[in-house]
Amino acid sequence: MIERYTLPEMGRVFGDAHKYELWCQVETLVMEAHAAAGTIPADSVAPVRQAPPPTPERVREIEEVTQHDVIAFLTAWADNTEPRDAAKWVHFGMTSSDLLDTALAAQLVEATDILLEKADTLVAVLRDHAIEHAATLRVGRTHGIHGEPDVWGHRVADFAFGMARSRDRLRRARDAVGVMAISGPVGTYSNIDPAVETYVAERLGLLAADVSTQVVLRDGISEWVSALAVIATVCEAIAIEVRHGQRTEVRELWEPFGKGQKGSSAMPHKKNPIISERISGMARVVRAQIVPVMEGIPLWHERDISHSSTERIALPDAAIATDYLLNLTTRLMKGLVVDADRMRVNLDSTHGLIYSSTVVSELIETGLSREDVYALVQAAAMRTWETETPFRETLRAGAAERGVALDEARLDEVCRPERFVRRLAPVFDRLKSLS
């Protein structure tokens, strides 16, 4: 991921320097287990543990010759080990995938914990914003067309619960991705005792794979990337709502717009929804990683490395982009400007048409058939669309033509938008307990 969208903490997790720190940690733990079992000399562990991880530059330099990143790492680390002879016991009985998959599991768990903390923050911000606007009247829309009265907090509550579910999926995916294996070539433990795998798993807080061939099957990693994609897409759903709300014809919502910020190089009046548009764009990047990573599940026989090049790009990009999205969506919601007055103007702009479904229900209760009621209300509604005459007037005229008596007082009661606020109270009661 390019630097523009990489936040420092997540960038460090996926940096080469940290990767080699994890590789050193895994290799040292394997040596500890071997030494405890008497497989290797006990005095070989301390010199290796004390050797500083090799620099990314040195590993790259050696890899230019070896064309093998693990061998380049082992050589560079051995150069840092005193006495160097102790380094011969590093990687004893292991194959490259033992190191790579185990360190990757630890790395992805680290990344997940960062994401979960930010997802918790976003859930709380969405929850609090929704509760704050539990009575902010706004028209509800279907197909982009005004439907019925609603409240802005209702829409945001949906996002809050959606993000909470998405966070919980990621929490489950943390277990799925935190799976390691140290089982040797072809995964048969031919050169390494299964007890070594157990020891390393316990020390790293990971799960040993139920079975591995030479690599850990990529279903868990695919689940993890899919969970990130859902989080990213919920962020995009929020962004789309803001983008629609900031359109000139709507003008109900405004992104935070800082002092000195410019909207357009040519049109000084512009305040564009650039944060939301960036969220929409970055969500595409995360979703795009699902298929390449999933295609790492079917490998040739016990192992090939067609998944390796893909994961070097897809996994950091998915995590870094999701991290950025959570951060940006939280910033968007914290600074969002809600124009309640404009929402009320828009709610009233269709001259009462948004109460048509309520009127249908009320008239059916008087004994009329649904077909007759629908014809009456639709005809009145079409006249309002065409003439902008208030819906109650066209309805009254249509009812008179058909000899239908209207209970005006009752209609006044059921066509008050505040009624919808009361109906939604249980939603906000549930929302208050969301964490």
Which residues are within 8 A (CB) of 31 and not within 5 positions of it... i.e. 6 or more apart?
40, 44, 45, 48, 89, 90, 92
């030479």: which residue's tokens? Answer: 214
143 catalytic? Reply is yes
Which entry of 18, 34, 129, 143 is annotated as an active-site residue?
Answer: 143
Evaluate whether 389 touches 351 at the Cβ level (below 8 Å): yes
Which entry of 68, 190, 264, 349 is annotated as an active-site residue?
Answer: 264
Rounded CA-CA distance 205/216 in Å is 17
Nearest to 219 by CA among 116, 294, 274, 112: 294
Rounded CA-CA distance 20/12 in Å is 12
Nearest to 323 by CA among 3, 2, 9: 9
Q: Is cis: bond before 83, omega within 30 of 0?
A: yes
Nearest to 210 by CA among 187, 193, 191: 187
264 catalytic? Reply is yes
Evaluate whether 36 touches 195 at the Cβ level (below 8 Å): no
**Helix (H, G, I), strand (E, B), or coil: what is residue 336?**
coil
Distance from the Cα of residue 295 to its chain's centroid? 21
- Annotated catalytic residues are 143, 264
